[in-house]
Copies of this chain bind each other. A is one copy, B any other.
């Protein structure tokens, strides 16, 4: 049986209200008794019970982070940002891996409501879940990451995905490419749509035709890009350059390309989006459009905590992607 505030009160010979006040550094208490009580508490090895406190104060100092796949090296970085900020502000964060499954997302949402988390950060699987979340979140604050949700007063932190797609494509255009394909994933996410639009827009500006190749399913794994590239060679529609929706896919494409005798970047240029860490290994050396992953997590947590504490309203932040030139693209 852990020692409670009442036990302390008993040995200190005061009411337990006084103990509570002493321990919480409330003003209306004598300095000496506070010292004395704190001393006793320490002696007795007292550990405050956060769940009892949570019950009366109606907050838990817990937030949740819902992400589709912690294995995708993009998410650990944002998780780190979230955890970092949360920890420094006295919050603990639930790691909720949804495995790209909307059912899991919905289940988690309900569980988190039961647990009375103070807020939720979610990288939604699709825009459809955003709907579900917005409708069922009751009054618990939510901030989205990775996907815009323009329902008026939803909070989100994203990068300018249109610009990301645009920058990637524009870079390839500058290198002289005219035959630029896009390989991407699931189409029910704003980041996907925006990146494609950015890609299209850059091509339009140069009066070129887009060539969009969709990955079946939407598990962002290496295999995704791999298979899709294979399709392209089978159909004899291999372009001179490819914009990949993200780095994972880009790596899959690289694998496939090289395994089929295409030299990167001599025969084909490939550019990714995200800037996952191991794209920077010299053997990989992936040219990419970076997004500030850690910052995304950090900012999302910041906004969420501001909303929770009532210090701010919903906020939308759009961060800037930026080009990182490495070795997988070459002049044609």
List residues of chain A with CB under 8 Å of any chain B CB: 2, 47-52, 54-55, 60, 62, 64-65, 70-71, 73, 75-77, 79-80, 83-84, 87, 92-97, 104, 108, 110-116, 138, 222, 251, 254-255, 258-259, 277-278, 281-284
**Considering the chains assembled together, what is the distance between the CA atoms of A23 and B317 in angstroms?**
42
A95 touches B94 (CB 8 A): yes
**Considering the chains assembled together, what is the distance between the CA atoms of A284 and B284 in angstroms?**
8
Chain B residue numbers with a CB within 8 Å of A254 are 283
**Considering the chains assembled together, what is the distance between the CA atoms of A50 and B55 in angstroms?**
9
| Set B55, B70, B116, B222: member contacting A79, Cβ < 8 A | B70
| Set B87, B94, B114: member contacting A48, Cβ < 8 A | B114
Smallest CB-CB separation from A108: which chain B residue? Answer: B87
Chain B residue numbers with a CB within 8 Å of A97 are 79-80, 83-84, 87
Cβ distance A285 to chain B, nearest Cβ, rounded Å: 9
Sample (21) of A-B pairs whose CB atoms are under 8 Å apart? A49-B116, A51-B55, A51-B115, A62-B115, A65-B95, A70-B79, A71-B76, A73-B278, A80-B97, A83-B97, A87-B96, A87-B97, A87-B104, A92-B112, A94-B94, A94-B95, A251-B281, A255-B281, A255-B282, A258-B283, A283-B283
**A94-B96 in contact given A73-B73, A116-B49 (Cβ < 8 Å):** no
B70 touches A83 (CB 8 A): yes
Cβ distance A291 to chain B, nearest Cβ, rounded Å: 16
Cβ distance A88 to chain B, nearest Cβ, rounded Å: 10
| Set B114, B282, B284: member contacting A258, Cβ < 8 A | B282
Smallest CB-CB separation from A113: which chain B residue? Answer: B47
Chain B residue numbers with a CB within 8 Å of A76 are 70-71, 73, 75-76
Chain B residue numbers with a CB within 8 Å of A92 are 64, 94, 96, 111-112, 115
B83 touches A96 (CB 8 A): yes
B51 touches A116 (CB 8 A): yes
**Considering the chains assembled together, what is the distance between the CA atoms of A51 and B54 in angstroms?**
7
5 further A-B contacts with Cβ under 8 Å, apart from A251-B281, A281-B283, are A49-B55, A71-B277, A87-B96, A87-B97, A93-B95
B70 touches A80 (CB 8 A): yes
Cβ distance A120 to chain B, nearest Cβ, rounded Å: 12
B47 touches A114 (CB 8 A): yes
